[in-house]
A = this chain, B = another copy of it.
Amino acid sequence: MTGVQPYHHGDLRRVLIDHAVAAIAENGFERLSLRDLARRANVSHAAPAYHFTDRTGLLTAVAAQGYRLLGDELDEILRETNSFLEVGVGYVRFAVAHPAHFDVMFRPALYRDDPDLAEQRDRTMAILRAGAGTVDLAAATGQSTKDSEAAGLAGWFFCHGLVTLYRSEVLAANSPAELETLARRAANVLFS
């Protein structure tokens, strides 16, 4: 016997978010159930509402955590490599490694305005924009390219489309390895 559960869980908020991320990765956010999360955490069906108010609040927390994780990763990559190409690789890797976060982050109808989320999102977007400034497509294409912000956007669109379509299962690639092969082929056309 492990004894009865203590009335105060102690770390319920974090545990619920972790279970939510796992559940979303398994079944998609559309099948996410607060009561199922409560069961997984061995608390009553109304316990989640205390920490998140409602379903939207939970997804808001997931999105904020996602932006924080992505921001941290991209920030580190950019500081270490100063390469927007590597930022793009990190972006794709994040989407594959954290599908639940990625899904929720880019579906703002699922969550609501929140100071923490807004801060993390703006920080992450700023990193993407700053990274764009490091792009030197002119050297690659042999043409003058003054619009470095647009170059960064173009790279972002490419990466986002690539990984979104991969996860939609409409590409020939069905594994991260095949995804990388396909990404290299397509990127060579644009950036070589």
> In chain A between 138 and 185, which residues have their CB closer than 8 angstroms to a CB of chain B?
141-143, 145, 147, 150-151, 153-154, 156-162, 164-165, 168-170, 182, 185
Indicate which residue in B30, B150, B170, B188 contacts A186 across the interface (CB closer than 8 Å).
Answer: B150
What separation, in Å, do the CA atoms of A109 and B28 have in the docked complex? 8
Residues of A within 8 A of B (CB): 27-30, 106-110, 121, 125, 137, 141-143, 145, 147, 150-151, 153-154, 156-162, 164-165, 168-170, 182, 185-190, 192
Closest to A148 in B: B189
What separation, in Å, do the CA atoms of A49 and B187 have in the docked complex? 46
Whether A186 pairs with B168 at a CB distance below 8 angstroms is: no
Can you sample 5 A-B contacts with CB below 8 Å?
A108-B168, A150-B186, A150-B188, A153-B185, A160-B164
Whether A154 pairs with B190 at a CB distance below 8 angstroms is: yes
What separation, in Å, do the CA atoms of A156 and B190 have in the docked complex? 12
Whether B147 pairs with A189 at a CB distance below 8 angstroms is: yes
